[in-house]
Amino acid sequence: MTDLADYATKRQLEYHNALLKHGTRQKAAIALGVDASTLGKALVALEKKAAKSGWAPEFDLTHPVPLGYSVKGASTLYDSTTGLPKIQWIKTDRDKADQLEQLEQAIDNITANVKPFKKVKSPKVSNKDLLVVYPMGDPHIGMYAWHKETGKDFDCDTAREELLKAMQYLSDGAPAAETAVILNLGDFFHADNASNTTTRSSNQLDVDTRWPRVLELGIHAMIDCINLALLKHKNVVVLNEIGNHDTHTATMLSLCLKAWFRNEPRCDIRDTIAKHDYYQFGKVLIGTTHGDTVNAGTRKQLGALMAHDMPVAWGETRFRYWYQGHIHTSNREELVGCLWESFRNLAPNDNWHQSQGYRSGSDMVAIVHHRDHGEVSRLTCNISMVDTL
């Protein structure tokens, strides 16, 4: 039989049982050693939650609604003789708090095993004239692929493992530059929310496991990548671009990383707000964007866009670059005043891209810049190498 306790949290259940035992909220609060107003607010919240779920016997609501739904309204016809309910209509709606609850679950999962923050030991040797950029082309953490459809199996655990192995290989082989930029070029997460669809187009996505677990693994993967960079470089800058798959979670990722590394002065997590970001290093200027708002026509204008957005930096630099993801292929084009480049990703095709005939390689690179001479070298980790690491 349904009871108010069926809708209680662990703490609310404790308060509810104390009220039943002691008779009044005041006596229950004294017995538990809590403030009476705190106990009262918790019990009111419990009653509201139960009522939304269709359980409020004092108001003749005794028909619980299915999980994931809430009561939108109730109409009751009472018998004129007995005064008892004769017919009742319950209007339900999808529970708008459902996504919030899933987000709260994600936060609980992420923080469940959090240990006190420990700073990574700074390297003793570094070259202040060098910058290493680690572009991440569309990691798509959370994507699911089946080898019979796409040629390769892929899920959350595979995505994290391959990203960390690639980062380990590249950071081990990169020079001991004083500064590094971890450049997440967008679509870090495959889906933006628990609906498993793209935010703008509502396209259905192949997603592995539950959304809270995707967030948990993705955030931990980025934290681990940053720690690998902090072992090699004295200063690490993190840029998270907004993709078309993670319009909102890109901002969430930056906020989580800011909170995690708030006591680490060697790590600079930049805000994720605009669709175009810039980073200057000596005579080097780098523009970054996911690329979903860039096509063959607008690409020609990227040099002018950079000059407009960063006029002082444009005048101070000689070596200017635009880095983007989105198209999952490696391309370079000389534009007026700058060099444009797109990057491959480590993730394989999902079923839709495979069926559309897209076929591109998978790798991750580290690009080395000299503050006075621009790009001087790069290191490549092909996906075929990851399995051997």
Q: What is the pLDDT of residues 334-386, one digit of tens each?
A: 999 999 999 999 888 887 778 877 788 899 999 999 999 999 999 999 988 88
Cα(106)–Cα(220) distance, rounded to whole angstroms?
Answer: 12
Question: pLDDT tens across 327-343, in order?
Answer: 999 999 999 999 999 99
Q: Which CATH class is domain 124-386?
A: alpha beta
Identify any residues that bridge with 381 across adjacent strands, giving them in sequence order.
364
| pLDDT computed for residue 184 by the predictor | 98
149, HSE (Cβ side, Cα atoms, 13 Å): 15
* Block residue for tokens 């005043």: 337
- Supply the pTM of this predicted model: 0.71
For the chain, the domains span 1-52, 124-386
Cα(132)–Cα(173) distance, rounded to whole angstroms?
Answer: 11
Looking at per-residue pLDDT, the higher value among 32 and 327 belongs to 327
* Block residue for tokens 């199996």: 153
| pLDDT computed for residue 199 by the predictor | 74
Assigned token pair, 178: 């004083």
Cα(144)–Cα(347) distance, rounded to whole angstroms?
Answer: 10
Sequence-ordered list of residues with C-beta below 8 angstroms from that of 320, at least 6 positions apart, any chain: 284, 285, 286, 287, 303, 306, 314, 337, 338, 339
C-beta of residue 78 within 8 angstroms of C-beta of residue 86: yes
Rg of the chain over Cα atoms, rounded to whole angstroms, equals 27
Q: Alpha helices of the chain — where are they, by DSSP H?
A: 10-22, 25-32, 36-52, 98-111, 147-150, 156-173, 211-232, 249-260, 296-299, 302-309, 311-316, 351-355, 383-386
* Block residue for tokens 């459809």: 149
| pLDDT computed for residue 333 by the predictor | 96
Position 130 confidence tier, pLDDT thresholds 50, 70, 90: very high
CA distances from 158 to 109, 192, 218, 325, 387 (A): 19, 19, 11, 20, 10
- Residue 2 confidence (pLDDT) above 70: no
Helix (H), strand (E) at residue 287: strand 284-289
Question: pLDDT tens across 270-327, in order?
Answer: 999 999 999 999 999 999 999 999 998 899 999 999 999 999 999 999 999 999 999 9
In degrees and rounded to multiples of 5, residue 189 shows phi and psi of -100, 140
Cα(85)–Cα(126) distance, rounded to whole angstroms?
Answer: 79
Cα(285)–Cα(322) distance, rounded to whole angstroms?
Answer: 9
261, HSE (Cβ side, Cα atoms, 13 Å): 26
Q: Which residues of 162-185 are buried (b: 16+ CB within 10 A; e: fewer)?
A: bbbbbbbbbbeebbebbbbbbbbb
Q: Secondary structure of the chain: what % helix, strand, coil (to 5)?
A: 35, 25, 35
Position 179 confidence tier, pLDDT thresholds 50, 70, 90: very high
- Residue 45 confidence (pLDDT) above 90: no
pLDDT-wise least confident of 4-18, 52-66, 220-234, 298-312: 52-66
Question: pLDDT tens across 95-117, in order?
Answer: 555 656 666 666 666 666 656 56
pLDDT cut 90: percent of the chain above it: 55
| pLDDT computed for residue 7 by the predictor | 74
| pLDDT computed for residue 16 by the predictor | 85
